[in-house]
């Protein structure tokens, strides 16, 4: 085993989120996390790896069970302050002969190993009050003399966080609130900063770890932008053909072809989302009900406004990019003349009347006969295209923010207001790029431009 990498042991009482902290920091789905107390029975080491390189290591440990007896045993040895760490080691040897201290010997072993210098991450639950009985644990950890940081995990609430801060501040020079399920990437990096403060010897390795993890994050986003671009290309270029067997079958065959088309669109989107989940090392199956972007609702007009642009923006950008506005707006209610007027007299100044305008829910060219074949596609509604685009942006944001401590196998994707982040010029560029896919495949330069818009939206 390499010994020059920083090593941390995550310790605390049972069921306080120790394994969750390890899963999130190591970005691993296979750390055992459970609502059942006493899940982790043996200490286990998990490497934080990027690009096949170990950056630092984390020990997941069982919870303290008999800290009070441990401290009494150690006190009975009457060591002076300089011998305390050795007394903890003696205790570990003693505990190997006894069944009483299985958890303590497991959790203290990695902290005072002769092969490595270990830092301590002590985890408590900020939703339950501090209790003096845990002071024995704090003393045991103090006796080890190892650098240590306390994390207050507000599992249910942050009701007792302030109380914990005061108590832990007496034993730990760094006390942080850290929720492994929600912690952002920056908060995770700040933990490494904390350890650099505690132990100068780790500075170089931990700075390197931060640089590598940040690079990796950026790479993942770039790869996601690439996948999204390919997915949009395949959906917006999609055309399906089926031979018309008999004139009398026209309506039935059209219906079947439309169904196949919808199925194919859903599959292209879900396959891409599943690929992205794997890219971010989330072992979840993205099918139907496991992702709260209902694929069936993709074809529901109201959903287009939710994921894409609002009606006012749709009118504006469809018109500005010369998109067939009729596809987005039902011309029978005067969309075209309204639009011309609006564009002429200060862009969409009188948008009030939009309320009376009916948006078409048609998203596909009419299925038509071409020779012997019925042809469906391509999709030709800009509102629908913006929605597809917005769904993928929202999805990457969710998967990017999801931590590995998150046990929920359903990914709840919240719609993000992405259009606010693009200026007029960028929006027109996006609109034109989507429109291009109606006519032909992307050139490489266009793929890169769309990817760069996606990257702009993901960067924050």
Ligand X SMILES: Nc1nc2c(ncn2[C@@H]2O[C@H](COP(=O)(O)OP(=O)(O)OP(=O)(O)O)[C@@H](O)[C@H]2O)c(=O)[nH]1
**Site residues (CB under 6 A) for ligand X?**
14-20, 33-35, 37-40, 62-63, 153, 155, 179-181, 407
Of 132, 362, 412, give the one whose Cα is nearest residue 258. Answer: 362
Of 69, 201, 43, give the one whose Cα is nearest residue 136. Answer: 69
Q: Cβ closer to Mg ion: 19 or 188?
A: 19
Q: Cβ closer to Mg ion: 125 or 269?
A: 125
Please choose which of Mg ion, ligand X, none residue 394 contacts, taking the beta carbon within 5 to 8 angstroms, the exact cut-off set by kind. none
Minimum distance, C-beta of residue 414 to ligand X, in the bound complex (Å): 17
Q: Cβ closer to Mg ion: 18 or 282?
A: 18
Please choose which of ligand X, Mg ion, none residue 419 contacts, taking the beta carbon within 5 to 8 angstroms, the exact cut-off set by kind. none
Here the tokens at position 136 are 């024995």
Please tell me what DSSP assigns to residue 42: S
Q: Cβ closer to ligand X: 37 or 353?
A: 37
Cα 302 to Cα 3, 171, 270, 278, 423: the distances in Å are 57, 55, 20, 30, 24
Rounded CA separation 363/381 (Å):
5
Q: Given the rule CB under 5 A, which residues bind Mg ion?
A: 18-19, 39-40
- Close Cβ partners of 141 (under 8 Å, ≥ 6 residues apart): 11, 111, 120, 122, 148, 171
Minimum distance, C-beta of residue 288 to ligand X, in the bound complex (Å): 24
Q: Dihedral of CA 207/208/210/214: which sign?
A: positive
Please choose which of Mg ion, ligand X, none residue 335 contacts, taking the beta carbon within 5 to 8 angstroms, the exact cut-off set by kind. none
Taking every pair of Cα atoms in the chain, the longest distance, rounded to a whole number of angstroms, is: 99
Minimum distance, C-beta of residue 151 to Mg ion, in the bound complex (Å): 14
**β-pair partners for 153:** 125
Minimum distance, C-beta of residue 49 to ligand X, in the bound complex (Å): 20
- Close Cβ partners of 185 (under 8 Å, ≥ 6 residues apart): 213, 217
Q: Cβ closer to ligand X: 37 or 239?
A: 37
Q: Cβ closer to Mg ion: 16 or 435?
A: 16
Bridge-based pairing of strands 118-125 and 148-153 is: parallel
Q: Cβ closer to ligand X: 234 or 401?
A: 401
Please choose which of Mg ion, ligand X, none residue 179 contacts, taking the beta carbon within 5 to 8 angstroms, the exact cut-off set by kind. ligand X
Minimum distance, C-beta of residue 155 to ligand X, in the bound complex (Å): 5
Q: Cβ closer to ligand X: 109 or 308?
A: 109
Rounded CA separation 392/397 (Å):
9
Please choose which of Mg ion, ligand X, none residue 303 contacts, taking the beta carbon within 5 to 8 angstroms, the exact cut-off set by kind. none
Rounded CA separation 457/460 (Å):
8
Minimum distance, C-beta of residue 16 to ligand X, in the bound complex (Å): 4
- Close Cβ partners of 257 (under 8 Å, ≥ 6 residues apart): 240, 242, 367, 374, 376
Q: Cβ closer to ligand X: 300 or 412?
A: 412
Rounded CA separation 114/227 (Å):
47
Please choose which of Mg ion, ligand X, none residue 155 contacts, taking the beta carbon within 5 to 8 angstroms, the exact cut-off set by kind. ligand X
Minimum distance, C-beta of residue 327 to ligand X, in the bound complex (Å): 45
- Close Cβ partners of 453 (under 8 Å, ≥ 6 residues apart): 422, 426, 429, 430, 433
Please choose which of Mg ion, ligand X, none residue 322 contacts, taking the beta carbon within 5 to 8 angstroms, the exact cut-off set by kind. none
Q: Name the burial class of residue 167, with classes exposed (0-12), middle (13-18) and buried (19+) by CB atoms within 10 angstroms of its CB.
A: buried
Q: Cβ closer to ligand X: 92 or 155?
A: 155
Please choose which of ligand X, Mg ion, none residue 145 contacts, taking the beta carbon within 5 to 8 angstroms, the exact cut-off set by kind. none
Minimum distance, C-beta of residue 140 to ligand X, in the bound complex (Å): 16
- DSSP string spanning 110-160? TTT-TT--EEEEEEEETTS---GGGHHHHHHHHHHT--EEEEEE-SS-STT
Please choose which of ligand X, Mg ion, none residue 16 contacts, taking the beta carbon within 5 to 8 angstroms, the exact cut-off set by kind. ligand X
Rounded CA separation 318/90 (Å):
76
Please choose which of ligand X, Mg ion, none residue 252 contacts, taking the beta carbon within 5 to 8 angstroms, the exact cut-off set by kind. none
Minimum distance, C-beta of residue 27 to ligand X, in the bound complex (Å): 15
Minimum distance, C-beta of residue 131 to ligand X, in the bound complex (Å): 16
Cα 281 to Cα 392, 408, 458: the distances in Å are 18, 15, 18
């Amino acid at each position: 085993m390499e010994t020059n990498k920083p090593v941390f042991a995550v310790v605390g009482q049972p069921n306080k989120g120790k394994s969750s902290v390890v899963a999130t920091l190591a970005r691993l789905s296979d750390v055992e996390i459970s609502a059942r107390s006493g899940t982790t029975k043996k200490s286990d080491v998990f490497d934080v790896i990027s690009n096949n390189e170990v950056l630092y290591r984390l020990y997941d440990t069982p919870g303290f069970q008999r800290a009070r007896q441990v401290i009494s045993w150690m006190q009975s040895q009457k060591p002076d302050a300089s011998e305390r760490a050795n007394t903890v080691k003696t205790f570990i040897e003693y505990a190997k002969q006894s069944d009483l201290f299985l958890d303590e010997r497991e959790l203290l072993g990695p902290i005072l190993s002769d092969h490595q210098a270990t830092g301590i991450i002590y985890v408590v639950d900020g939703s339950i009050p501090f209790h003096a009985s845990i002071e024995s644990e704090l003393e045991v950890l103090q006796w080890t003399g190892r650098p240590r940081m306390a994390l207050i995990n507000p599992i249910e609430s942050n009701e007792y966080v302030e109380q914990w801060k005061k108590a832990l501040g007496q034993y730990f020079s760094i006390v942080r609130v850290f929720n492994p399920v929600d912690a952002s990437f920056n908060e995770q990096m700040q933990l490494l900063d904390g350890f650099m403060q505690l132990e100068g010897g780790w500075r170089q390795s931990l700075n390197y770890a931060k640089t590598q993890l940040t690079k990796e994050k950026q790479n993942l986003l770039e790869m996601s932008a690439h996948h999204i671009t390919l997915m949009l290309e395949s959906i917006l270029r999609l055309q399906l053909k089926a031979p018309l067997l008999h004139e009398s079958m026209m309506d039935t065959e059209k219906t079947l072809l439309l169904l196949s088309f919808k199925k194919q669109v859903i599959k292209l989107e879900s396959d891409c989302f599943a690929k992205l989940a794997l890219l971010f090392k989330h072992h979840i199956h993205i099918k139907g009900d496991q992702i709260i972007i209902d694929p069936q609702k993709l074809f529901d007009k109201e959903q287009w406004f939710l994921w894409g642009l609002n009606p006012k923006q749709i009118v504006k950008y469809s018109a500005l990019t010369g998109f067939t506005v009729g596809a987005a707006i039902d011309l029978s209610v005067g969309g075209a003349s309204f639009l011309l007027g609006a564009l002429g007299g200060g862009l969409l100044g009188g948008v009030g009347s939009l309320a009376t305008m009916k948006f078409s829910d048609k998203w596909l060219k009419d299925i038509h006969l071409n020779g012997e074949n019925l042809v469906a596609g391509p999709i030709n509604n800009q509102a629908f295209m913006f929605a597809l685009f917005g769904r993928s942006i929202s999805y990457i944001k969710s998967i990017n923010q999801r931590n590995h401590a998150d046990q929920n196998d359903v990914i709840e994707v919240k719609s993000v207001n992405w259009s606010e982040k693009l200026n007029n010029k960028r929006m027109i560029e996006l609109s034109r790029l989507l429109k291009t896919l109606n006519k032909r495949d992307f050139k490489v330069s266009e793929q890169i431009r769309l990817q760069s818009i996606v990257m702009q939206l993901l960067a924050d």
